Amino acid sequence: MFHAQRIASLDLPELAPYRTLRLPHEHRQQGFFVAEGDKVVHRLLASPLEIISVLLPEHRLAEYEPALRTRREDIQTFCVTEKRVLEELVGFEMFQGVMAVAKIPPAPSLAELLNISPPPRLLVAADGLTSAENVGVLVRNCAAFGAQALIVGETSASPYLRRAVRNSMGTIFQLPVFESPNLLAALTELRGHGVRCIAAHPHTEQRELHQADFRADCCLVFGSEGHGLSPLVLAACDEAVAIPMPPDVDSLNVASAAAVFLYEASRQRRLA
């Protein structure tokens, strides 16, 4: 259900989320996020998340109307006659010109995540990932390779920041997320439930990726873009595993490393 409204004034209070796109952390604190782009907004409309509003060029309303009509909530749908008006509102140039605002879903507890994840569990944890873009790609990798949930530590960017949602290509709408106020405590709790915590750590001589066993319950822990895992988080893991590479090659970007680790875990589980 929806009602369309042509924008006559850029000062409408309901448009505040779109005027403040450069303040994503404030959006997170207020309990909503912004979805940007055709594919992401279409996936949002197909999700169970509560949608507040949609903003799009008027000539594209007919394209979105079937999906809008299937929704149970009453979605404010703001239309602009020209894309330049939308760009004036948001403050930067847009390619597709389609956006939406939705409520961040209630966060499950760690115990609830374990209850809804059938064994063998495959979880992912993030420590110190400050780039929202990298967090978004990590979410996409989780969805691609069958990870059942993402645990985001207190030093990482939220996966509900606009750039994270965009880079996840909307897969964040189907992945349970636990934003932990204390990642060390979360890893300790996981280990107490028999979940093996495996650190993705490039500077280790202990074990290479192909030697690790990902077939039982495990949580893959990925560190920051520049410094990797913090010493305390690394020490809290059961083991550290590295992707074998030549010594004169820098470590992979965290999103690339996560794809390699998750593919190997998925491969082992298919063969088990």
Query: Residue 179's domain spans which residues?
Result: 110-271
Residues 144 and 51 in one domain: no
Residues 215 and 123 in one domain: yes
Residues 199 and 242 in one domain: yes
Mean pLDDT of 104-115: 93
Is 181 a residue whose pLDDT tops 70? yes
Mean pLDDT of 51-56: 95
Q: Which of 65, 86, 103 is the last residue of a domain?
A: 103
Write the pLDDT tens digit of every residue in 24-35. 889 999 999 999
pLDDT score at 95: 59
Residues 121 and 30 in one domain: no
The answer to whether 224 and 257 are in contact (CB under 8 A) is no
CATH code, domain with 35: 3.30.1330.30
Mean pLDDT of 248-270: 92
Tokens of 120: 């063998």
Peptide bond into 120 cis (omega under 30): yes
**Which residues are CB-contacts of 102 (< 8 A; sequence separation ≥ 6)?**
32, 33, 35, 44, 49, 50, 51, 52
**Which residues are CB-contacts of 225 (< 8 A; sequence separation ≥ 6)?**
129, 130, 131, 134, 253, 254
Task: Flag the least confident range among 71-75, 152-156, 248-252.
Answer: 248-252
207-218 as b/e: b if 16+ CB within 10 A = eebeebebeebb
Percent of the residues in the chain that have a pLDDT greater than 90, as a whole number: 75
Q: Which of 54, 79, 103 is the last residue of a domain?
A: 103
Residues 74 and 153 in one domain: no
Residues 116 and 98 in one domain: no
The answer to whether 135 and 165 are in contact (CB under 8 A) is no
Q: Which of 55, 74, 103 is the last residue of a domain?
A: 103
Is 47 a residue whose pLDDT tops 70? yes
Residues 78 and 123 in one domain: no
CATH code, domain with 223: 3.40.1280.10
Residues 27 and 123 in one domain: no
Q: Name residue 81's amino acid.
A: T
Is 185 a residue whose pLDDT tops 80? yes
Mean pLDDT of 4-13: 84
pTM for the full predicted model: 0.93
Residues 164 and 219 in one domain: yes
Domain count, the chain: 2
Average pLDDT of the chain is 92
Write the pLDDT tens digit of every residue in 208-255. 999 999 999 999 999 987 788 999 999 999 999 999 888 777 778 899
Banded model confidence at residue 7, pLDDT cuts 50, 70, 90 = confident
pLDDT score at 94: 66
Banded model confidence at residue 37, pLDDT cuts 50, 70, 90 = very high
